[in-house]
């Protein structure tokens, strides 16, 4: 994905009321930050924020944190916050590799991964957000019954994910290769910008849900 730099975006982000600077200082204190004990869901690599903003509006009893590496992209997400006055949604500009420096064990209830960078070259496999390396990170911050939900139109990345997740010791609780025609898994689905674009072009959307529940 080619990113267009927005002049002044980094500076605008630093002073925005919805952006958490120095998030490492909040590790283990996120419930205090939100002022309640509601579950915390995060979206890693949230892009322009349509998905997580919609979820926060639909679920005021859940706290949300959007994580995005690129200032210009996060800036676009912040534009969507104008006039919404949400108190259950905040953002962090950071690299996903550092999430264990920001969240304590058992602090997060759910992780969303939507249309993540496929990093197609083999030597970059460890950078994929559904790699075994990243699931080891998720294991350290999620509650025991926590889940990871992943959507993509990239079939190669999806097949890679289906292999990596069990290798990381996780279960594939639900899998579909055509989300919008899967009645059960499409219930309550909130589309991202990319999802709408790709599905309107006729591309099926893959989705999986991973958890660590013990199979009987």
pLDDT in tens, 16-29: 999 999 999 999 99
Total domains in the chain come to 1
pTM of the model: 0.93
> Which listed residue (117, 122, 153, 182) is catalytic?
117
CA distance 17 to 9: 14
Q: What is the mean pLDDT of the chain?
A: 93
Q: Please indicate whether residue 213 or residue 181 has the higher confidence score (pLDDT).
A: 181
CA distance 174 to 155: 16
Name the nearest CA neighbour of 21 among 98, 90, 119. Answer: 90
Q: Is residue 19 part of a domain?
A: no
Any catalytic annotation for residue 117? yes
Name the nearest CA neighbour of 109 among 30, 21, 204, 191. Answer: 30
Q: Is residue 12 part of a domain?
A: no
Q: Is residue 25 part of a domain?
A: no
Instruction: Print burial letters for 82-110: b (CB count within 10 Å at least 16), e (below 16).
Output: eeeeeebbbbbbbebeebeebbeeebbbb
List the CATH number of the domain containing 78.
Answer: 3.40.50.150
By residue range, what is the domain housing residue 165?
Answer: 37-211
Q: What is the mean pLDDT of residues 167-181?
A: 97
């Amino acid at each position: 994905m080619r990113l267009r730099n927005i002049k002044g975006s980094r500076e605008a982000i630093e002073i925005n009321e919805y952006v958490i600077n120095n998030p490492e200082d909040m590790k283990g204190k996120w419930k205090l930050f939100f002022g309640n004990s509601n579950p915390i869901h995060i979206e890693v690599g949230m892009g322009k924020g349509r998905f997580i903003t919609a979820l926060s509006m639909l679920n005021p009893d859940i706290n949300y944190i959007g994580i995005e590496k690129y200032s210009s992209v996060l800036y676009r997400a912040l534009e969507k916050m104008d006039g919404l006055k949400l108190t259950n949604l905040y953002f962090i500009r950071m690299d996903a590799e550092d999430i264990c420096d920001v969240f304590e064990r058992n602090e997060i209830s759910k992780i969303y991964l939507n249309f993540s960078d496929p990093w197609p070259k083999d030597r970059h496999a460890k950078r994929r957000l559904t790699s075994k390396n990243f699931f080891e990170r998720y294991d350290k911050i999620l509650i025991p019954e926590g889940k990871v939900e992943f959507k993509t139109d990239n079939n190669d990345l999806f097949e890679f994910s289906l292999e990596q997740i069990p290798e990381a010791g996780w279960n594939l609780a639900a899998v579909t290769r055509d989300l919008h025609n899967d009645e059960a898994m499409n219930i309550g689905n909130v589309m991202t910008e990319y999802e709408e674009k790709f599905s309107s072009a006729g591309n099926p959307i893959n989705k999986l849900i991973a958890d660590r529940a013990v199979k009987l």
